[in-house]
Amino acid sequence: MGATFLARGRSGKGLAGAAGRTGGSGLNASNFNHMKYLFAFAVLILAPLARGAADADTKTTRVFIFAGQSNMVGSDSKAKDIGRFAPFVGLDRPQEQVLYSYKIGREEKLTSNGWVALQPVDGVVGPELSFARRVSQVTGAPIAIIKCAAGGTTLGGDWNPDEPQGFKLYGEALQLIQTSLAELDRKKVAYRIEGFMWHQGENDMFDATFRPNYGVHLKRFLARWRGDLKVPQLPFYIGELCTKTIWGMDNRENMYAIRAGQKAVVGADALAEYIATSHDAVEIGGGEGLHYHYGTLGQLEQGENYARAYLRRVGKELRAARPLPGWPYAKGSRVRLFVLAGHRNMEGERAFTADLKGLRGKEGLAEDNPKIAYKYNLGGGYHLSAGWEPLGPAGLYDTFGPELSFGAALQGKVEGGVAIAKFTHSGSQMNDWTPEGTAAEERNLYPQFISFIAESIKELEAKGQAVELAGIFYHVGENDMSFGPYRQQAAKWLQATVAKSRVDLGLPGLKWFVSQQPPTDEPGLNRLDVTAQLGALAEADPGLMHLKAFQLAPQEEKLVITAEGIVQLGELLAQGYLERGK
């Protein structure tokens, strides 16, 4: 990143300042070119050293800018709910060591009027809360956050720096940033601007002019910020539009157009990074349970996404190693590979490892089991295992899925070794898993899913195991059950995926165990008897087992199952195999 290029305030001009002073010395063309090449060589050699020194600096305040629309504001979140989510407990309280300057809202604005301690504003949760805590913990450096966000705004209009329309937020945000930095200067606080976190685009997708030009607008937006803030090397972190919301279903192609524009800009800009957020939780609401916003949990997870990206950029990886202490299977022995797959509840969206302590007899699931090798690809590739790891809690944001109780229930009850491979994307729908896919090509999961299974088999065979693919255990899409057009097609989509997987894996008898929680109970949706359709599919296919997970622990919310239910789901899947899979 070359952090010294970002130096401002009392932290000095760094190499950028030195570069500005090389001209005006009456050099001839030959000498100038010679000096130019020497300078370029010096930058090449010194920049990594300067970057390392800056990243190790724990005195200079690191300033981060957060901006965007409703899913940056924190709409439909509640600070009082933070305590429900174990990994984020305490973030409802002020972070006294973190400076915060903000202007939030559209017609009626909430403003800090200077620097205050970072905390929820008006009971609303933003990603800056979890971001600041994580970055502070890892870097040990002082943090300052400047935030300007307003729901229902467009980049093509409201945030347009060249042709401002509507709420004219670019100028307002620039003034907020400049005023906030000037106050740091007055207080003689050394600082440097470290990054710009941007989450916006949902509203542009509804405008026939803004939608196809989003990439053009975004490129100009980044350039103007770097110029107006005089930080030419300013990194940008572009938050993904979340596909887990209802907009990810009924506006699939519109959303894809915005994401394509974002990725085109990021692909051409070494200082811009695309931040995946579709795997994050979203608010539960409405008669069907679907919503448009992250809500409390998703906002905090979004902050973790930005923190992880920033820390990786400065060379500080958060991930802790989980190696197997030894390969658990004798060479040449038979190993049954169980593949778990699905969406929100197979991922374990709201099942926190800390909650296992409150489940009598299940506390041991929180411990790694080195006798079962475990491999995973979660969140559509966001979180990957480092090869084969011991079976244990390894989910996103300290969560777990049904794999823990599934493995425990099988251990000692099947002949040979047990290995588990899990592939999930909680931001996907069932059509993303079909061989045909959809017009939103980047969301097509089928090729990666089949490759993941094939590679898992090859890796086990390379270690000398005789491998049997025992079956695919798939939990049907929860969001699909809540949206009529998808619910109507769910059985058809599943059938296509099952049939093609058998062909592509060369296993015509491959067994699928398809679990289904009670589908969303809503009068309009109930006209579509998806349970009967899945049942009919199983009756016609002797290799497909339909497992009704209708007796799980009561859910706190529609769609998502919490820790106790997730444990029960794993046990139900294992029982289905023991009874019908051998």
Domain assignment present for residue 328? The answer is no
167 in the same domain as 144: yes
Clarify whether residues 236 and 384 are in a common domain: no
Query: Is residue 322 in a domain?
Result: no
Query: Exposed, middle or buried: residue 183 (CB in 10 Å: 0-12, 13-18, 19+)?
Result: middle
**DSSP letter assigned to residue 240:** P
Which residue's entry shows tokens 């195999």?
577
3-state DSSP assignment of residue 243: coil
**Helical H runs in 187-251?**
214-228, 247-250
pLDDT (tens, 9 = 90+) of the chain, 582 residues, equals: 333 233 334 333 222 222 232 233 333 334 434 443 443 444 334 444 445 556 778 899 999 999 999 999 999 999 999 999 999 999 999 999 999 999 999 999 999 999 999 999 999 999 999 999 999 999 999 999 999 999 999 999 999 999 999 999 999 999 999 999 999 999 999 999 999 999 999 999 999 999 999 999 999 999 999 999 999 999 999 999 999 999 999 999 999 999 999 999 999 999 999 999 999 999 998 889 999 999 999 999 999 999 999 999 999 987 888 999 999 999 999 999 999 999 999 999 999 999 999 999 999 999 999 999 999 999 999 999 999 999 999 999 999 999 999 999 999 999 999 999 999 999 999 999 999 999 999 999 999 999 999 999 999 999 999 999 999 999 999 999 999 999 999 999 999 999 999 999 999 999 999 999 999 999 999 999 999 999 999 999 999 999 999 999 999 899 999 999 999 999 999 999 999 876
Does residue 367 share a domain with residue 299? Answer: no
Contact 275, 238 (CB under 8 A): yes
**381 closest CA partner among 368, 362, 396:** 396
**Residues 273, 129: one domain?**
yes
Both tokens of 392, joined, read: 């244990």
Q: Which residues pair with 195 in a beta bridge?
A: 64
Within 8 A by CB and 6+ apart from 422, the residues are 339, 340, 341, 346, 374, 375, 376, 377, 378, 401, 403
Give me the residues paired with residue 102 across strands.
147
- 33 & 70 share domain: no
Name the pTM for this structure: 0.90
What is the CB neighbour count within 10 angstroms for residue 120? Answer: 22
How, if at all, do strands 334-342 and 417-424 pair?
parallel
Residue pair 524/484 in contact by the 8 Å Cβ criterion: yes
User: What's the CA gap between 71 and 302, in Å, rounded?
Assistant: 9
**DSSP conformation class of 352:** B
pLDDT in the model for residue 20: 30
Do 495 and 541 reside in the same domain of the chain?
A: yes
Domain housing 394: 334-580
Q: Evaluate whether residue 567 is within a structural domain.
A: yes
Q: Please, which residues have CB within 8 angstroms of residue 298's CB and are 6 or more apart in sequence? A: 242, 277, 280, 281, 282, 283
In a domain, 226, yes or no: yes
Do 176 and 304 sit in the same domain of this protein? yes
Q: What is the CATH number of the domain that holds 474?
A: 3.40.50.1110
pLDDT of residue 580: 86
d(CA 156, CA 159): 7
Q: Which two tokens stand for residue 225?
A: 């910020």
Q: Which residues contact 51 (CB under 8 A, 6 or more apart)?
A: 1, 2, 3, 4, 314
Using a 10 angstrom Cβ sphere, with 0-12 exposed, 13-18 middle and 19 or more buried, the burial of residue 174 is middle
- Domain membership flag for residue 414: yes
| Pairing mode, strands 369-378 and 383-384 | antiparallel
Residue 385 located in a structural domain: yes
Question: Can you give the length of the chain in residues?
Answer: 582
**526-530-533 Cα angle (round to 5):** 140
Q: How many domains does the chain have?
A: 3
Of 392, 302, 401, the residue nearest 345 (C-alpha): 401
123-149: b or e for each residue (b if 16 or more CB lie within 10 Å)? ebbbbbbbbbbbbbebbebbbbbbbbb
Residue 231 and residue 214 share a domain: yes
- CA 252 centroid distance within chain: 18
Q: Quick one: pLDDT at residue 317?
A: 80
Does the residue 85 lie in any domain?
yes
Side-chain-side CA neighbours of 400 within 13 Å: the count stands at: 30
Same domain, 365 and 388: yes
Pair (33, 135) in one structural domain: no
| Residues 86 and 26 occupy one common structural domain | no
- 563 in a structural domain: yes
Same domain, residue pair 282 and 355: no
List Cβ neighbours of 340 (8 Å cut-off, separation of 6 or more): 346, 401, 402, 403, 406, 420, 421, 422, 423, 424, 473, 474, 573
